[in-house]
Structure 1
Amino acid sequence: MSHSTLEIQLKTLPEQPGVYQYYDAEGIIIYVGKAKNLKKRVSSYFAKTHDNGKTRVLVKKIVTIRHIVVETETDALLLENNLIKKHQPRYNVMLKDDKSYPWICIKNERFPRVFSTRRVIKDGSEYFGPYTSMKTVYTLLDLIKGIYHLRTCNYHLSEDKIDAGKYKVCLEYHLGNCNGPCEGLETEAEYNENIKAIKEILKGNFKDSLSQFRAQMKQYAVNMQFEEAQKIKEKIEVLENYQAKSTIVNPKISNVDVFSIVSDETYGYVNFLQLSYGSIIRSHTLEIKKKLDETDLELLELAIIEIRQRFHSKSKEIYVPFKVDLGEDVKVTVPQLGDKKHILDLSVRNAKYYRMERFKQDKIVDPDRHANRIMAQMKADLRLHEEPRHIECFDNSNIQGTNPVAACVVFKNGKPSKKDYRHFNIKTVEGPDDFASMEEVVYRRYKRMLDEDQSLPQLIIIDGGKGQLSSALKSLEALNLRGKIAIIGIAKRLEELYYPNDPIPLYLDKKSETLKVVQQLRNEAHRFGIEHHRNKRSKSALNTELETITGVGEKTVVDLLKHFKSAKRISNAKLDELETVVGISRAEKVYNYYHNK
């Protein structure tokens, strides 16, 4: 389809709320979006050059635009969500529809049974949930079973059959778990009172049940029925214990949904808490893979619609970290302080913990995905033009007058590449001069890489502040590499990152993955450098000792070390062993030196 046809499609778009769909040349739907004003939103895709590469590719692939006009923006949100789930377009964030959550069912029948199920049947039964974990379902069912005596049999308890004596009480009755409605030992009205109380508990309201039990307990006590009063007291304790575990905020906060989001370069994590009577009755975190560098606002709006649909939430108010547009039916609150802010902070903490867990799991299960995430995050955090797949870190902080050395450690895809590590003995600098040493080492490293046509790193990290960074920059300039490789310096405490020509350092979040990788690089460079420095010092010490033996020159020392590998072995060697390497005369001098000590 020609570009002019696209222009015609754009001109004929209405200025109303709706949903737009982009199709490629094969007629496959590649993107679905919502808009307050269809014409403005869709035209914006074609009117400017996009910073995001994927968006540029998407625009190139668009051949046909279709749209659906709706009454309100809320309708647009719902329709967008449903179309994304139905078609899973390539450039939309992924929303998977999960229908296998557990529910608690109160069956539509005389003397209703209460049980867990994963199948919702539209037969007039009441369903509570869905719950995000089976553990919550079991806890609630155990709580209900411990307080109310409900039947577990599946008999059809019609009035006629009970009157005709069709059924006999079972073991559950004799164990005290059921009051025997099958033999007419409990009336339908009494049973339904319990069901009514159970519904309130499942909604998170314990107040009515507790006050009812307290009144019953007092009545039994007045009537001297202390055994019955004790049973009711135990029920109150069970309920209060459960309520204490679940109540975390002001009990006046009821029927509210709380949403928060944390995101990195590749994923967004939206946490959902559902509150009823001050209790959290549900918590769920949705992971969304970004496709077009979506903002937190875009992800949160989409996730709220998805989650509320998935969990059948009818709450009239939501708490969120920033304003979202969900239409007029829902009150949107952005808490600033107090209990409301406390519950929003709790939601954010849940989202962060979930993200940390996923990060750990990726490291084990999917190392490639883990590396991709770290690379994307480092690119953003360190303000780089490309992902730092290959990083090199230089350290010469261990130079102390003697045996000046430097270390270069290499990370590839966020992990140490030990075969690429290099040590340098400083050749051109006299005495301890960190700046000149750094200049020499950086020059030698990249001169050699250029000469051998090796692939250069995307990022160089210099262990040191502005001085060392300036020295390294001189070498990059001399090799005509300045601006071609990103370079930063780390100050001593690892809290400050310095950039060329920028006096103000960058401070990274102490918990960020980027800082962890930078920290690991710096620690590795220290370890590797100090190890080499120590080896060099010990070798020079041993060389010095051997050379102090009268009549033993440098060639003899080298021959002995080549054969025996260490000074210790030379000192423990027998005379005939030394003789075979350096002759009788020198062998006797070395042997006598060590054995006369």
Structure 2
Amino acid sequence: MSSPPLSPTDAAGDPQAERLASEAAERAMREKLLNEVNALPAMPGVYRYFDAKGEVLYVGKAKDLKRRVCSYFQKNHGGTRIGLMVSRIVRMETTVVRTEAEALLLENNLIKTLNPRFNILFRDDKSYPYLKITSHAWPRMAYYRGAVDKRHKYFGPFPSAWAVKESIQLMQKVFKLRTCEDSVFNNRSRPCLLHQIKRCSAPCVPIGQTPAYARDVQSAERFLRGETDEVMAALQEQMTAYAERFDYELAAEVRNQIQALSKVLQQQVIEESSATGGERDVDILAVKVQGGKACVNLAMVRGGRHLGDRAFFPKHVDDATAIQLDDEEARSPERQVLEAFMAQHYIASPVPGLIVVSEPVDASLAEALGTQAGSRVTVQAQPRGQRRIWLEMCVKGADLALARLLAEEGSQHARTRALVDALDLSVTEIDKFRVECFDISHTAGEATMASCVVFEGHQMQSSQYRRYNIEGITGGDDYAAMRQVLTRRYSKMAEAAQLGTGRLPDLVLVDGGRGQVSMAREVFEELGLDLSLIAGVEKGEGRKVGLEELVFADGREKVYLGRDSAALMLIAQIRDEAHRFAITGMRAKRAATRTGGSRLEDVPGVGPKKRSQLLQRFGGVRGVAGASVDELCSVKGISRELAEDIYRALH
């Protein structure tokens, strides 16, 4: 006869009863989950698995949701990674879509949003840079990164800022387009140095405001689109026309332009359109997997020009590539990484008409990318001719980038281990060793700023950096500033750690000697925290690099690690990053304080239009702050009363 189910009251205080109740609850949860799986439709869709904490474990897509999800639960996967994942699943969510292409796009949108533990994940928070040509009457050429404004023309994307700036220099040499800000352009009375060195045709003054500038802008746009033959032919016709009218000086200028463009074409090694099969925009992708790490190298061809490459390193490669079910087509880790990159990368980035890849990928992926782009996308795995040369270059780049990453990670692992050993720290998981470092920065007591940088997982974690505005202290009192920032940082963290919901760092570094360490000790004593966590980085004799010593809050003797110590190298890296982060924040705060910052926008009666007029008239906020009331009144729409309000606000 089976025993009746245990109530919570019966189970309380009895370990065996608690275990039986937990097992019964787990069986009930599992049975409910399996019932949900059996009720799934045989349609395309996306599924998401969650653990007991509500965290996403895995996001996947399927042509047949029921068949795919059932395959996770129909067999025992043992101690494999897929078995580990399945054992953690307590809840599931599904979304039905119309096609497999829609499922693929939704899957990768969710992966980028939810950051699942068992998916290959590419993170690239930086948007791609573009070369922008404005819609101004005398268009300006500029580097641009951010949201696209339809009023202007954008060319790219480029793999790096360096590639954009190199293209701008090229445009200056050949087409002499302006690069100055509108506020500078509108207030020029004579040509600048760029005109004198033949890098700008000076449309800021009447001598340069000719129809030729508009032709140069048009030629530059065509060149950036890859229409190099057409640009050269138009210049040849223009030179001939000038010569026939006996305008030999103008013909000579166009001749020089043609020579400069020819030289640029040779330097850039631009291939004819036949080399790319008629495609002027091409992405080349090469993947390399080694040592549990992976690299995808992306090379970009825009307008027929090879603009360089950029390496990406995904997370969770081992976990994700180990999850492969019996009903799936066997895919190599390289192919899985490449497909994951393509799907996630092109969600937010423009898709070119041709993508050359080092590994064959699923045909449905090209279909999905075409759906995303709204045009046909060709994915080619075995290119010939120039495309093959580009792919070989890209593969070599992936090899070098991954080798560099593995070498750096090995070095960082060694430095982390050296620091833990040198300070005799009790760290159970070296890969989770966490250091937080603090620094104070100000200029003679003005605009005091404190920084906190984080080192974890053998690397700096820039997304966890924090700056603190220090207020209510005597200017230049670094000790009071350190006390304030540590109190603000660790008061709530200490409460969370006591409740078991938070985690303190394994080491707290402060940039300073005994004085700063004693202040940190007072804060930690008030909060009831372990004093052994605190170490100060004290300058050595003559403040020379490599002679720093560590000062401790718990009474230990000072430690000198040695100039060549790997532990000291890591401490110096973290300390220097804290100093850099603090000083950049301080400078921005100081500049805002001295120029009035954004207070111009806070003046009643100054809207976006008047603010724009003021900034253009005086060349920036600093110029507005330096203007007198009478000078402010000279701006259209600014009354004397409003000018006085602006003057008071900025002084």
CA shift for structure 1 position 198? 2.0
1:94 partner SS: coil
Q: Does 1:29 align with 2:56?
A: yes
CA shift for structure 1 position 283? 2.0
Q: Judge conservation of contact 1:204–1:279 (CA < 8 Å) in 2.
A: yes
Q: Residue type matched to 1:344 in 2?
A: L
Q: What fraction of aligned residue pairs are identical, expressed as a percent?
A: 27
Q: 1:271 aligns with which of 288, 297, 310?
A: 297
Cα distance in structure 1, aligned partners of 2:416 and 2:108: 26
Which residues in structure 2 correspond to 1:525-540 (within 5 Å)? Answer: none
Cα distance in structure 2, aligned partners of 1:171 and 1:277: 31
Q: 2:192 aligns with which of 140, 161, 171?
A: 171
Q: Judge conservation of contact 2:339–2:361 (CA < 8 Å) in 1.
A: no
* Correspondence for 1:216: 238
* Correspondence for 2:392: 345
Q: 1:133 aligns with which of 154, 160, 163?
A: 160
CA shift for structure 1 position 47? 2.5
* Correspondence for 1:206: 228
Q: Does 1:243 align with 2:270?
A: no
316-325 or 251-260, larger mean C-alpha shift: 316-325
Cα distance in structure 2, aligned partners of 1:117 and 1:272: 20
The CA deviation string for residues 132-177 of structure 1, in whole angstroms up to 9 with x for no partner, is 322212210111111223334544899xxx9xxx985543696355
Q: Does 1:193 align with 2:215?
A: yes
CA-based RMSD: 3.4
Q: Judge conservation of contact 1:217–1:233 (CA < 8 Å) in 2.
A: yes
Q: 1:339 to 1:102 in 2, by over 3 A?
A: closer
* Correspondence for 1:530: none
Unaligned ranges ≥5, structure 1: 371-597
Cα distance in structure 1, aligned partners of 2:166 and 2:194: 22
Cα distance in structure 1, aligned partners of 2:172 and 2:383: 41
Which residues in structure 2 correspond to 1:378-457 (within 5 Å)? Answer: none
Q: 1:366 to 1:234 in 2, by over 3 A?
A: farther
Q: Judge conservation of contact 1:271–1:350 (CA < 8 Å) in 2.
A: yes
TM-score by length of 1: 0.54
Q: Judge conservation of contact 2:192–2:202 (CA < 8 Å) in 1.
A: no
Q: Residue type matched to 2:81 in 1?
A: K
Q: 1:277 to 1:130 in 2, by over 3 A?
A: closer
Q: 1:337 to 1:97 in 2, by over 3 A?
A: closer
Cα distance in structure 2, aligned partners of 1:354 and 1:345: 14
Q: Residue type matched to 2:232 in 1?
A: L
CA shift for structure 1 position 346? 2.6
CA shift for structure 1 position 75? 2.5
Q: 1:54 to 1:354 in 2, by over 3 A?
A: same
Cα distance in structure 2, aligned partners of 1:296 and 1:226: 60
Q: Residue type matched to 1:312 in 2?
A: P
The CA deviation string for residues 328-386 of structure 1, in whole angstroms up to 9 with x for no partner, is 3222222254333333333222211211222222232334999xxxxxxxxxxxxxxxx
Cα distance in structure 2, aligned partners of 1:184 and 1:248: 36
- Larger RCO (CA within 8 A; separation ≥ 6): 2
The CA deviation string for residues 497-546 of structure 1, in whole angstroms up to 9 with x for no partner, is xxxxxxxxxxxxxxxxxxxxxxxxxxxxxxxxxxxxxxxxxxxxxxxxxx
* Correspondence for 2:313: 287
Q: Residue type matched to 1:48 in 2?
A: K
Answer with 1 or 2: which has the greater Rg. Answer: 1
1:313 partner SS: coil
The CA deviation string for residues 289-337 of structure 1, in whole angstroms up to 9 with x for no partner, is 3042513222211101233345423425544531323143222222254
Cα distance in structure 1, aligned partners of 2:412 and 2:250: 56
Aligned residues: 365
Which residues in structure 2 correspond to 1:520-559 (within 5 Å)? Answer: none
1:303 partner SS: helix
Q: Judge conservation of contact 1:21–1:31 (CA < 8 Å) in 2.
A: yes
Q: 1:265 to 1:293 in 2, by over 3 A?
A: farther
Q: Judge conservation of contact 2:111–2:119 (CA < 8 Å) in 1.
A: yes
Q: Judge conservation of contact 1:248–1:278 (CA < 8 Å) in 2.
A: yes
* Correspondence for 1:142: 169
Q: Residue type matched to 2:334 in 1?
A: D
Which residues in structure 2 correspond to 1:313-392 (within 5 Å)? Answer: 313-315=351-353, 318-325=356-363, 326-328=365-367, 329=370, 330-335=377-382, 337-367=384-414
Q: 1:170 to 1:95 in 2, by over 3 A?
A: same
Q: Judge conservation of contact 1:103–1:137 (CA < 8 Å) in 2.
A: yes
221-230 or 298-307, larger mean C-alpha shift: 221-230
CA shift for structure 1 position 6? 1.4
CA shift for structure 1 position 237? 3.4
Q: 1:188 to 1:229 in 2, by over 3 A?
A: closer
Q: Judge conservation of contact 1:19–1:67 (CA < 8 Å) in 2.
A: yes
CA shift for structure 1 position 223? 5.2
* Correspondence for 2:142: 115
Q: Judge conservation of contact 2:353–2:378 (CA < 8 Å) in 1.
A: no
* Correspondence for 1:435: none
1:346 partner SS: helix
Q: Judge conservation of contact 2:47–2:61 (CA < 8 Å) in 1.
A: yes
CA shift for structure 1 position 233? 3.6
CA shift for structure 1 position 13? 2.0
Q: 1:367 to 1:17 in 2, by over 3 A?
A: farther
